[in-house]
Amino acid sequence: MTNPTPTPKLNDRIALITGGSRGLGKSTAIALAKRGTDVVITFKSAEDEARKVVAEIQALGRKAVALRLDASDSSTYAAFAEALEGALKKTFGRGTFDALVNNAGTAGYSLFPQTTEALFDELYKVHLKAPYFLTQRLLPVLADGGTIVNISSGLARFSFPGSSAYATMKGGLEVMTRYLAKELGPRGINVNTFAPGAIETDFGGGHVRDDKTLNAQIASQTALGRVGLPEDIGPAIANLLAPENHWINGQRIEASGGMIL
- Side-chain-side CA neighbours of residue 216 (13 Å): 3
DSSP H or E run through 255 = strand 252-255
Is 166 catalytic? The answer is: yes
pTM for this prediction: 0.92
Quote the pLDDT of residue 20: 96
Quote the pLDDT of residue 12: 81
39 φ, ψ (degrees, to nearest 5) = -140, 140
Quote the pLDDT of residue 8: 44
Whether residue 74 is contained in a domain is answered as yes
- 218 with 226: CB under 8 angstroms? no
Is 124 catalytic? The answer is: no
Whether residue 169 is contained in a domain is answered as yes
Quote the pLDDT of residue 202: 66
Active-site option among 166, 179, 182, 212? 166
Q: What is the pLDDT of residues 180-221, one digit of tens each?
A: 999 999 999 999 999 999 888 766 566 677 578 888 888 899
Quote the pLDDT of residue 200: 85
Quote the pLDDT of residue 120: 97
Residue 4 has pLDDT above 80, yes or no: no
Q: For the ranges 7-16, 35-44, 189-198, 227-236, which has the lowest average pLDDT?
A: 7-16
Quote the pLDDT of residue 74: 97
Q: What is the mean pLDDT of residues 135-163?
A: 96
Domain total in the chain: 1
Active-site option among 153, 159, 164, 212? 153
For residue 248, the enclosing domain spans 11-254
Cβ neighbourhood burial of 223 (10 Å; 0-12, 13-18, 19+): exposed
Helix axes 117-124, 164-184, angle to 10 degrees: 30
Whether residue 5 is contained in a domain is answered as no
Whether residue 1 is contained in a domain is answered as no
Whether residue 26 is contained in a domain is answered as yes
Look up the CATH number of the domain holding residue 232. 3.40.50.720
Is 63 catalytic? The answer is: no
- 18 with 42: CB under 8 angstroms? yes
Active-site option among 170, 179, 212, 256? 170
Active-site option among 21, 152, 163, 256? 152
Is 153 catalytic? The answer is: yes
d(CA 19, CA 106): 10
Question: Which amino acid is residue 181, in one-letter code?
Answer: A
Whether residue 259 is contained in a domain is answered as no
Average pLDDT score over the chain: 93
